[in-house]
Structure 1
Amino acid sequence: MIDIHPDAARHAVIWLHGLGDSGAGLAPLVEALALPSELPIRHLLPDAPERPITINMGHKMRGWYDIKGFERPEDRADETEVRAACTQITTLLTRLEQEGFAPEHVVIAGFSQGGVIASFTALRHPTPLAGLLCMSTYLAAPDALLAELSDAARTLPICYMHGIYDDVVHLSMGWDAKQRLEAAGLAPQWHEYPMRHESCRPQLADVRAWLLARFAP
């Protein structure tokens, strides 16, 4: 895990990478945000374990969970593995709190598979967090959301971002997540960009602004 820990940091972001990537793969995105040095923020970029991925012919790669297919919601994310990953990130949140980072000063962010785990964790976390940022992603176990949504998550600042031309996680899957969150009484921000399954400069500017708003004095 990459742990960027500047002196006097009171805020933290947990960044969760996508399938086949690593924490190191997300580090350039964090650097590109060029967050102000006068607001020191700790960035934690954990690695998913290596596991066989069904849609990739069973080849092993870093992944938070297995994907059998995208046609049915139950195939998009192995629920047992999603819950195990959620436990891993919850443990990281507990560690941060023990080190002096209040939960309300911590954002969970993720891209693609990482966004699935970020949302699954944040929406069930029992104490208020600073925010949830999801990029090019969807919901795991969507039918369980209403029953498992924590009281703390009902006021959670949420931002979803998606590429209009995403051919990996189709835009409709992001819209489905947005609509399910709204049906649960939440109010996610929504941003679309003329891009595929990737990041772009306008999106990075929006990520930067959203994070700064979450950590404003």
Structure 2
Amino acid sequence: MNGLRIAAKVQPARQTIIFLHGLGDTGSGWGFLAQYLQQRDPTTFQHTNFVFPNAPEVHVTANGGALMPAWFDILEWDSSFSKVDTDGFMNSLNAIEKMVKQEIDKGIKPEQIIIGGFSQGAALALASSVTLPWRVAGVVALSGFCYIPGILKQHKNDLNVKTPLFHGHGDMDPVVSISLGLNAKKFYQDTCGIQDYELKIYNGMAHSTVPEELDDLTAFLKKCLSL
């Protein structure tokens, strides 16, 4: 899978942050995050690899079949997700597993790897918290939601039930409503047993990010990676 890869400024690399973009975006769209973290804490993230993969081009049904980067098809704009692209979602989950394995093969310990994402990418990051075959350092979901809960219950394991999870969400999000964020927390915390699930709600934030959220994200990453 191609995308934007930013190698640690100081070798050898000791940590990796993998971050998945949202619908219609590319890995480069979130490349600013690496620059932000490296400039904000120049010595803190100097041994950190950053991976911003590109989603495949998909004909998105709910957008009139338009071809765009998507981790899975959106069959209709329905917050209840009555129709879902199970195959596309599971294929992307498998791709995340391969990305993590690539980092492990390079010498990065799984407990020094963060999985994160925004919107569609956040839905996958959340799902990876119950499907990955390794315990990772932490999981980040920005404006995330729960997708295919029934399937995830069949595939879940308990390796990351104690792994810290940070979920940032705006209370004015018109794309992924705050109710979907609350439902995600309920599913992963109550049904899947995630013990350290922090949902932080940002007043006035739409389907985007704000400086306060980036501040909280930075603190979370430093805590998870013991930086």
Report the TM-score when normalising by structure 2.
Answer: 0.90
For residues 95 and 74 of structure 1, the distance between their equivalents in structure 2, rounded to whole angstroms, comes to: 34
Tell me which residue corresponds to 2:103.
Answer: 96
Q: Any idea what the Cα deviations from partners look like across 1:175-202, whole Å, max 9, x if unmatched?
A: 0000111213223101011210000000
Instruction: Report whether the alignment pairs 1:186 with 2:194.
Output: yes
Secondary structure of 2:161's counterpart equals helix
CA RMSD of aligned residues (A): 1.4
Residues 97 and 103 in structure 1, CA contact (< 8 A), matched pair in contact too: yes
Measure how far apart 1:143 and its partner are.
2.2
Secondary structure of 2:79's counterpart equals coil
List aligned pairs for 1:87-126, cutoff 5 A. Answer: 87-126=94-133
Gaps of 5+ in 1: none
For residues 155 and 205 of structure 1, the distance between their equivalents in structure 2, rounded to whole angstroms, comes to: 23
For residues 102 and 122 of structure 1, the distance between their equivalents in structure 2, rounded to whole angstroms, comes to: 16
1:164 to 148, 166, 171: 171
Percent identical: 29
For residues 106 and 143 of structure 1, the distance between their equivalents in structure 2, rounded to whole angstroms, comes to: 27
Number of matched pairs: 216
Gaps of 5+ in 2: none
For residues 32 and 172 of structure 2, the distance between their equivalents in structure 1, rounded to whole angstroms, comes to: 23
Tell me which residue corresponds to 2:71.
Answer: 64
For residues 82 and 163 of structure 2, the distance between their equivalents in structure 1, rounded to whole angstroms, comes to: 26
Q: Any idea what the Cα deviations from partners look like across 1:23-77, whole Å, max 9, x if unmatched?
A: 00001133223352323211000000001111211100000000112233243x4
Tell me which residue corresponds to 2:12.
Answer: 8
Report the TM-score when normalising by structure 1.
Answer: 0.94
User: Would the alpha carbon gap of residues 71 and 36 (structure 1) be closer, same or farther in structure 2, given more than 3 Å must change?
Assistant: closer
